[in-house]
Amino acid sequence: MTPASQRIHQSGDVVDDRYQVDSFIDEGGMQQVYRCRDSTLDRDVALKFPKNKSASARFRRSCILSAQINHPNVAKTLDYFEFQGREYLIEELIAGENMHALLERYDRLDPFLVAHLAHHLAKGLAASHRAGVLHRDLKPSNAIVALEPWPEIVKITDFGIAKMADEELTAAIEFGIEKSITTSATLVGALPYMSPELINSPGTAELKSDVWSIGAVMYEMLSGTKPFGIGLAAVGKIVSGNSPPKPACFGASQQFGAHLDELWSIVEACLQFDPSGRPSADELVRRCDDLCYSSCVRRIGTISSFQFSAYGFIAPDDGLSNVFFHKDSYYGASPRVGQRVSFACFSSGTAAPRAIPVLPFRESKT
């Protein structure tokens, strides 16, 4: 995180006589992001700009392309302008967090949640591909989801930054990936999701390179690990043509087995070494359309009891009545009293409502 003293803007700054900076939101290898108030239209927006000033022309072209995409699963590009020698992108402000933050809270996601997130990512990607726009840098930190308890909103973002990331990756690979991997934040973050053709032939991004990235993201959601690892070691595994191993957790629960198998078949299709063997984004949407999964709104609570190693109750944070769950609906290791969980809840007539799935939060290591 950039220290406050090194941030380009501070609270109260006014950019282009229109956008008043409210607060710093986040940063990545290529950009800083601020929450601003658009005084002309009286709305909050996200203000972004590249750290790399030499990339201004590419940044402008990419912003123009991304503005052509109009879809609920893609963050809207609202404005582009130059101010005091710096290029700025204005996007809709999404009340949420990046998907990377969501993944950090769990060891892995249950198949219903994976299906929901992947389905919406595929829809957003398909819309961009129909507009002729490649993302090039699709990864969890470039997708915004609504805050828990249920990430109903899923939006792909940073199309304007992705072209610059592609240029930096090309230069880094040509210069020497082994040296660059320790100096480029963009390269370190993008490598686990890069297609083999991008590594083998820098600058050859094609539509199905984005599909590979969705497959890599799905693998991480399902397993809690990146399919080919991280750092320099990932490069050799990605370009080897060998598929990543099927996560061991897939055989742990009969309750979710069929759903996991369906998702795994999609991951395998997306991670085909030859781009021609991968589905298009539209085909990926159709495959996700066929998935049977619950999109019931989740709640958050604490396991208050667990008896006979078979069933227990969850005390919801919202203060409503306790919710029954069976161990087969628990998507993790053995449940324990005091465990924080996210869960979907269904009525069971006159008995206590029932939870499925029950997804445990990652245990604190402190």
Look up the pTM and report it. Answer: 0.89
Mean predicted confidence (pLDDT) in 340-360: 90
Domains, in order of start, for the chain: 4-95 (3.30.200.20), 97-289 (1.10.510.10), 298-360 (2.40.50.140)
More confident residue, 55 or 266: 266
| Tens-digit pLDDT profile for residues 212-227 | 999 999 999 999 999 9
**How is 195-211 classified by DSSP, letter by letter?**
-HHHHHSTT---HHHHH
Cα–Cα separations (whole angstroms), residue 265 to 85, 216, 314, 342? 49, 13, 33, 26
- Taking the C-alpha atoms of residue 145 and residue 340, their distance in angstroms, rounded to an integer, is 21
Is 158 an active-site residue? no
Confidence of residue 247 (pLDDT cuts 50, 70, 90): confident
Quote the percentage of the chain above a pLDDT of 70. 85
Residue 183 reports pLDDT greater than 50:
no
Instruction: Tell me which residue of 330, 139, 157 sits closest to 252, measured CA to CA.
Output: 330
| Tens-digit pLDDT profile for residues 74-110 | 999 999 999 998 889 999 999 899 999 999 999 999 9
**Sign of the CA dihedral with 300 first, then 301, 306, and 311 last:** negative
Catalytic member of 26, 38, 42, 137: 137
Strand order in the sheet with 19-27: 14-15, 19-27, 31-38, 43-50, 86-92, 77-83
Cα–Cα separations (whole angstroms), residue 300 to 134, 174, 215, 304? 36, 48, 28, 13
Give the pLDDT confidence score for residue 251 in this predicted structure.
61
- Taking the C-alpha atoms of residue 2 and residue 29, their distance in angstroms, rounded to an integer, is 11
Least confident segment among 32-36, 90-94, 168-172:
168-172
| Tens-digit pLDDT profile for residues 107-147 | 999 999 999 999 999 999 999 999 988 888 899 999 999 98
